[in-house]
Structure 1
Amino acid sequence: MNASTDLLGSLLSACHLSYCVKGAQLLKEVSLTIRPGENLGIVGPNGSGKSTLIRLLAGIARPTWGEVRLDGRPFAALQRREIAQRLAVVEQHAETTDSISLEQAVELGRTPWLSALAPWSDRDRLIVDQAITDVSLQHLKHRPWHTLSGGERQRAHIARALAQRPQILLLDEPTNHLDIQQQLSILRLVHQLPVTTVIALHDLNQALACDRLAVMDGGRLVALGSPFEVLTPERLHATFGVVGHWLTDPFDGARILRLRSA
């Protein structure tokens, strides 16, 4: 199924997005809207188009057909600086080889707001300090980047994105390659942030904390709705090739997915 293209109340929207590389169609007619303040999860098997959709929504890649709109305005009608002031992205493999500290890496998030008429100020310093505090890395702000652990770097990338003061934060599998404690910590942080978030996730049980899920399969959007609406036994089998049913955790009453090979 495709989401409605009605833009009423949407902050960011994809309108009939398709994306081709060397004749291969990676995304096919995807339409959806992201509502202000929501946490939208994007799930699907490997190669389903999750990362491609994130890159198009972020403006990192341009669609072959269709368009992305921010507050109803096409990206093509906006300057890159305008987009960067409203939207931040944390990519799966974001990295730097520069000899910089964690604090300096986070300072890069202020770049879209700086100019000859608006140089670095005390306000920028306060914003950077707050972003580092939000991810609980104050004690590491002067540490060289290359000495940070994978989880610390991922938190720093989120802090850099927060320093942009965006309305929308896009994250492409931010817990990839992290241990379970770091995964849970970063996901808890993301869900607590006071911004609209779009997050591509691999783990379906972790995706249950999202307000809505967009399910991708073969480059198409095949389901959109609350986790409990879209992760049906039929959808789990058809899209993910697994048998699944819901269980209730006796510890806190939460619903969780039990998955088995088909």
Structure 2
Amino acid sequence: MNACVEQACSALAGVNLSYSVKGAVLLRDVSLAIRPGENLGIVGPNGSGKSTLIRLLAGIVMPSAGEVSLSGQRLTSLRRRDIAQRLAVVEQQAETDDAISLLQAVELGRTPWLSALAPWSEEDTRIVDQAMADVSLHSLRHRAWHTLSGGERQRAHIARALAQRPQILLLDEPTNHLDIQQQLSILKLVHQLPVTTVIALHDLNQALACDRLAVMEHGRLVALGSPFEVLTPERLHSTFGVHGHWLTDPFDGARILRLR
């Protein structure tokens, strides 16, 4: 399939994306198309461009060159409201100084769907309640935002994104600040969602559950394919600076990475 056809058939695509800040090139000539319904993982060392790519695909920042398309439409041709009804993003450092409760923070996810002709309804309340329950925060819904731990805030950001009911969900290292039980729970939830997901991850073994992996290095896309295709011993050494090989878990037969 050629690049133009693949872009038109994709849920979300970037073509020849580059991004620079004050002369420093953070991303250079990255092209990829995310298939409808797939779970694409973005991996790479710190500073490789994972967060920058997520922000470009979300339309939070505009590329210095190249373009992003959403279901075949240029992102720049769409209204922010229309984008927000179809795409939600969870950033690493999304914070607020407003004196709000956890419930109010999650309710913000319904904003793109509200208008004078479509005010808040019981359905909105049901969606918000379900989003908080999905990340095990319903019992904390009336807590003030500033009293929440880092992990609780991270889960609240994910709940807010879920309340948006997007077709595409972008997450930038969503398991940061979470303990291992919460990490596994959130990743299981993400993989079960009936949406297209793009998730930047730090842990390579957690990334194995993705359909495909995009490997970033020094702002470039250096590999794209299934986890077992791209995480070769040669790639692990050249990109991540580690030695690694595959092991089979005797408990369930799953393949895992042993890094050293």
| TM-score range normalised by the length of the shorter chain | over 0.9
Post-superposition CA distance 1:131-165 (Å, at most 9, x none): 12222222222222222232222221111001111
**Which residue number corresponds to residue 83 of structure 2?**
83
Does the residue aligned with 2:9 lie in a helix, a strand or coil? coil
CA contact (8 A) 1:42 1:199 kept: yes
Q: CA deviation at 1:70?
A: 0.3
**Which residue number corresponds to residue 124 of structure 1?**
124
Q: Give structure 2 stretches of 5+ with no counterpart.
A: none
TM-score, scaled to structure 1: 0.94
Q: CA deviation at 1:256?
A: 0.7
Q: CA deviation at 1:4?
A: 4.5
Post-superposition CA distance 1:155-176 (Å, at most 9, x none): 2111100111100010001112
2: CA distance, partners of 1:42 / 1:224: 9
Does the residue aligned with 1:238 lie in a helix, a strand or coil? helix
CA contact (8 A) 2:8 2:71 kept: no
RMSD in angstroms over aligned alpha carbons? Answer: 1.4
TM-score, scaled to structure 2: 0.95
2: CA distance, partners of 1:183 / 1:150: 13
2: CA distance, partners of 1:227 / 1:67: 26
Post-superposition CA distance 1:103-156 (Å, at most 9, x none): 111100111111222222222212212212222222222222222232222221
Give the aligned length.
258
Q: CA deviation at 1:81?
A: 0.8
**Which residue number corresponds to residue 26 of structure 1?**
26
2: CA distance, partners of 1:196 / 1:210: 11
Which stretch shows the higher mean deviation, 144-153 or 239-248? 144-153
**Which residue number corresponds to residue 109 of structure 2?**
109
Would you say 1:198 and 2:198 are equivalent positions? yes
**Which residue number corresponds to residue 72 of structure 1?**
72
CA contact (8 A) 1:10 1:35 kept: yes
Q: CA deviation at 1:178?
A: 2.5
* Code of the aligned partner of 2:155: R
User: Judging changes above 3 Å, is the alpha-carbon distance between structure 1 residues 135 and 178 closer, same or farther for their aligned structure 2 residues?
Assistant: closer
**Which residue number corresponds to residue 215 of structure 2?**
215
**Which residue number corresponds to residue 259 of structure 2?**
259
2: CA distance, partners of 1:36 / 1:233: 30
